[in-house]
Amino acid sequence: MKVQPLIFTLFLFLISNTFQAQHKIGIFDGNTAVGNSKIEGSAATYDVKNQTYTLTGAGTNMWFGTDAFQYLWTTLQGDFILRTTVTFNGAGSNPHRKTGWIIKNSLDPNSKHVNASTHGDGLTSLQYRKSVGGLTEEVKSPKQSPTIIQLERKGSTYIMSTAKFGEEFTSVELTDMNLDNEVYVGLYVCSHNPKVLESATFSNVRIIKPIDSDYTPYRNYIGSNLEIMDVETGQRELIHHSAHSIQAPNWTVDGKKLIYNSKGHLFNYELETNSISPLNTGFAINNNNDHVLTFDGSLLGISNHNQKDDGASALYYLPTEGDSLPKMVTKPGVGASYFHGWSPNNKEMLFTGERNGAYNIFSINVKSGKEQQLTDFPTLDDGPEFSSNGKYIYFNSVRSGTMQLYRMKANGKKQTQLTFDEYNNWFPHVSPDQKWIVFISFPKDIDPSQHPFYKHCMLRIMPVKGGKPKVLAHIYGGQGTINVPSWSPDSKKIAFVTNTDSY
Taking only the tens place, the pLDDT of each residue in 257-288 is 999 999 999 999 999 999 999 999 999 999 99
**pLDDT for position 4:** 44
pLDDT of 62 over the 90 cut: yes
Instruction: Examine the domain organization and report whether 261 and 398 are in the same domain.
Output: yes
Mean pLDDT of the 11-24 span = 44
pTM recorded for the entire structure: 0.94
- The CATH code of the domain that includes 364 is 2.120.10.30
> Residue range 187-212: average pLDDT?
96
Mean pLDDT over the full length of the chain = 94
DSSP 19-44: HHHHH-BTTB-EEEEETT---TT-EE
156 — phi, psi (to 5°)? Answer: -100, 10
Q: Is the same domain home to 311 and 183? A: no
Q: Are residues 236 and 166 in the same domain?
A: no
CA distances from 170 to 140, 151, 173, 336 (A): 11, 12, 10, 40
pLDDT in tens, 79-122: 999 999 999 999 988 999 999 999 999 999 999 999 999 999 99
In order of 19, 21, 385, the CA distances from 10 in angstroms are 14, 16, 58
Output DSSP code: residue 133.
T
- Find all residues with CB under 8 Å of 273, minimum gap 6, and list them: none
pLDDT confidence bin for 323, thresholds 50/70/90: confident
Tell me the residue range of the domain where 70 lies: 27-208
| 17 occurs within a structural domain | no
pLDDT at res. 337: 98
What letter would DSSP give residue 287? B
Please give the pLDDT value at position 252: 97
Q: Specify the pLDDT at position 1.
A: 40
Residue at a domain's end among 184, 208, 232: 208
Average pLDDT over residues 29-36: 94
Same domain? For 201 and 227 the reply is no
391 three-class SS? coil
Q: Indicate whether 50 belongs to any domain.
A: yes
- CA separation for the pair 126, 113 (Å, rounded): 11
Closest CA to 102 of 111, 112, 114: 114
15 inside domain: no
Neighbours of 431 (CB within 10 A): 21
Residues 303 and 401 in one domain: yes
Last residue of a domain, one of 159, 185, 208: 208
- DSSP-derived 3-state class of residue 4: coil
pLDDT at 7 over 50: no
Q: Are residues 228 and 174 in the same domain?
A: no
Domain with 142 in it: what CATH number?
A: 2.60.120.200
In this predicted structure, what is the pLDDT of residue 19?
36
Backbone angles phi, psi at 399, to 5 degrees: -60, -25
CB atoms within 10 A of CB 316: 23
Question: Which pLDDT band, with edges at 50, 70 and 90, does 38 fall under?
Answer: confident
153 φ, ψ (degrees, to nearest 5): -110, 125
Shared domain for 170 and 319, answered yes or no, is no
pLDDT of residue 171: 98
Backbone angles phi, psi at 74, to 5 degrees: -140, -175
| Residue 166 and residue 308 in one domain | no
Query: How far apart are alpha carbons 187 and 136 in whole angstroms?
Result: 18
* Statement to judge: residues 312 and 256 lie in one domain: yes
pLDDT at 388 over 80: yes
Q: Which of 16-25, 339-348, 367-376 shows the lowest per-residue confidence on average (mean pLDDT)? A: 16-25
Do 158 and 259 reside in the same domain of the chain?
Answer: no
pLDDT band at 251, cuts 50/70/90?
A: very high
Give the residue among 181, 170, 175, 142 at the shortest CA–CA distance from 158.
175
Q: Rounded CA gap, 80 and 152, in Å?
A: 6
- Can you give the pLDDT at residue 230? 98
3-state helix, strand, coil in the chain (%, to 5): 5, 50, 45
The answer as to whether 215 is a domain residue is: no
Residue 301: predicted pLDDT: 98
Q: Is the pLDDT of residue 10 over 50?
A: no
The model's confidence at residue 41, banded by pLDDT at 50, 70 and 90, is confident
Lowest mean pLDDT, pick from 38-52, 137-151, 266-280: 38-52
Number of domains the chain is built from: 2
- pLDDT, residue 12, reads 37
CB-based burial label for 257 (10 Å; 0-12, 13-18, 19+): buried
Does the residue 355 lie in any domain?
yes
Whether residue 300 contacts residue 318, with contact meaning beta carbons closer than 8 Å, is answered with yes
Report the b/e string of 66-103 with b at 16+ CB within 10 A: bbbbbbbbbebeebbbbbbbbebeeebeeebbbbbbbb
